[in-house]
Amino acid sequence: MVLLAPYTKVEESFNVQALHDFINVGVDEIMLFDHVTFPGSVKRTDGNALISIREAIVSVGVSGLMSIFLCSRVDSYFWDVNFIIPEFESFVFNVIGGNSSDWGVESPVAYFTRYLPKLFGSEFGVVLILSLVFFILSIINLKMFYCKNKRYRIEVDYVNYGVGTITTLMWTALIYIGVLSINGHKEWRFLIYTIPILCVGAASTAEWLMSKSKILKRIMITIMVFCYIFSLASSFLFGYISSWNYSGGDACQKLNLRLIDIYGSNHGTMLKPLIVHWDVGTCMNGGSLFTQISDNKVSGDGWLEEQGGREPRFWVIYDKNEDSEVLTEIADDFDYWIQYDDEEMIPLSEGYQWLLVDVSEGFKGIDFKFLVDTLKNPREIGLQLLYAFESGNMSWFKNVADSVILKEIRGRIWERSAADKVLGGI
């Protein structure tokens, strides 16, 4: 999946940019880090803290305090302040301040009626059904907890070492989702942490059902095998569909290839730096420090001090200014402008115009007509599928997927050019 879509959306951009700067800049030059130039609306953590769940309150308190202390020290260094807890600041900004509602508000039950079914839709909600059975059985277990005759106990929780039983984890996950539901703004990524727990609970329920009879065992095995195959196929299909949601990153890569072709080692030397502007949509939909062909903040302003025998380097400066007034003043300095969708562009001074040199496509929808027409000939599809497997021709799957997916132009690459050379767009 990484090979299909090697880009990231805005939600992951902070950690991606920080990772780039860790590798290319180093921890000693924090003023060159991307978050210093583009801090965002709220500070985020540079470290990945993991607070463990413990049955003992003391353990929770100790691990929590240690995590907060370690993260605060790391983040205070990278944000160049005396003391800060970014996740707490984010909580205050989004939840207490209510700013998360700016990105949309949904029903309190949206996580249960929309997002969880969507996340487990590839296996027809079997995990959710088994998880629900687990919760019901755990309630019955609680009711019979003090029952003297233990044969009435329902041992659906097969793991119990005294710390972090499946029952404890399952109810913790449910409470976590319930607390998240209080906030009006909802996103599926907030539920990611609960998915492994729900899968474990569902597996425990399946094990309990299979232990009751041979018929149930056969049914459960059949269901699980079918769900695994369908889920695997769905992952590849929807992964490929998702790869068309990064038009900004794709446009950046196309421009990179264009510059490499023009200024490659066998073509010519760059006499001055090229300035490329990315608009907001480009940065939010795939554009990152990893999609830049060079980084002037790492190499500095020096350029080809020793040219003898050296291959030419690429000297590209990237502008990501969002202020329209500032852009109006500096637009004439740009050599290229990557535009996402129909975001506003600044016209150039007299004598120059923007020339469209390339485009990138993005996801528009599913061609259901093609899908229905194709499924009307199952025998032909079966023969083509069999031939694809026998011949090892995996391009058949890509061709089918490309035919099913409807695309539209989402990214545009504009080049500053003399007005008399602009003959038209693409």
> Domain check: are 79 and 158 in the same one?
no
d(CA 183, CA 107): 9
* C-alpha to C-alpha distances, 2 to 6, 225, 233, 236, 254, nearest whole angstrom: 5, 26, 16, 11, 18
> Domain check: are 326 and 272 in the same one?
yes
The mean pLDDT of the chain is 80
Q: Are strands 336-340 and 316-319 parallel, antiparallel or unpaired?
A: unpaired
> Is residue 1 in a domain?
no
> Is residue 5 in a domain?
no
d(CA 209, CA 223): 13
**Per-residue model confidence as pLDDT tens digits over 189-239:** 889 989 999 999 999 899 888 988 899 899 989 998 888 888 887 888 888
Q: Can you read off the two tokens belonging to residue 213?
A: 């009879």
pLDDT of res. 157: 63
Instruction: Calculate mean pLDDT across residues 399-411.
Output: 89
> Domain check: are 283 and 175 in the same one?
no
pLDDT score of 11 more than 70: no
> Is residue 212 in a domain?
yes
> Domain check: are 134 and 253 in the same one?
no
Number of domains the chain contains: 3
> Domain check: are 134 and 269 in the same one?
no
> Is residue 172 in a domain?
yes
**Of 55, 86, 103, which one is at a domain's C-terminal end?**
103
> Domain check: are 121 and 165 in the same one?
yes
Q: Is residue 157 a contact partner of residue 169, using CB atoms and an 8 Å limit?
A: no
pLDDT of res. 173: 92
pLDDT score of 391 more than 70: yes
- Report the range out of 72-81, 89-98, 326-335, 388-397 with the highest average pLDDT: 326-335
**Of 74, 103, 132, which one is at a domain's C-terminal end?**
103
> Domain check: are 358 and 210 in the same one?
no
**Of 70, 103, 136, which one is at a domain's C-terminal end?**
103
Side chain identity, residue 382? G
> Is residue 3 in a domain?
no
From the number of C-beta atoms within 10 Å of its C-beta (0-12, 13-18, 19+), residue 231 rates as: middle
> Domain check: are 262 and 404 in the same one?
yes
pLDDT score of 3 more than 80: no
User: Which SS3 state, helix, strand or coil, does residue 101 take?
Assistant: helix
pLDDT of res. 123: 76
> Is residue 4 in a domain?
no
Q: pTM of the full predicted structure?
A: 0.70
Q: Is residue 310 a contact partner of residue 370, using CB atoms and an 8 Å limit?
A: no
d(CA 13, CA 10): 5
- Among residues 261, 238, 260, 268, the alpha carbon closest in space to that of 363 is found at 238
The answer to whether the Cα torsion of 101, 106, 108, 113 is positive or negative is: negative
Residue numbers of the domain that contains 95: 10-103
d(CA 339, CA 368): 30
**Per-residue model confidence as pLDDT tens digits over 79-131:** 888 888 887 888 888 778 877 777 788 999 999 999 999 888 877 789 999 99
User: How many residues can be counted in the chain?
Assistant: 426
User: Which SS3 state, helix, strand or coil, does residue 195 take?
Assistant: helix
pLDDT of res. 91: 80
CB half-sphere exposure, 80, CA atoms < 13 A: 11
Q: Helix count (H) and strand count (E) of the chain?
A: 17, 5
pLDDT score of 161 more than 50: no
pLDDT of res. 199: 92
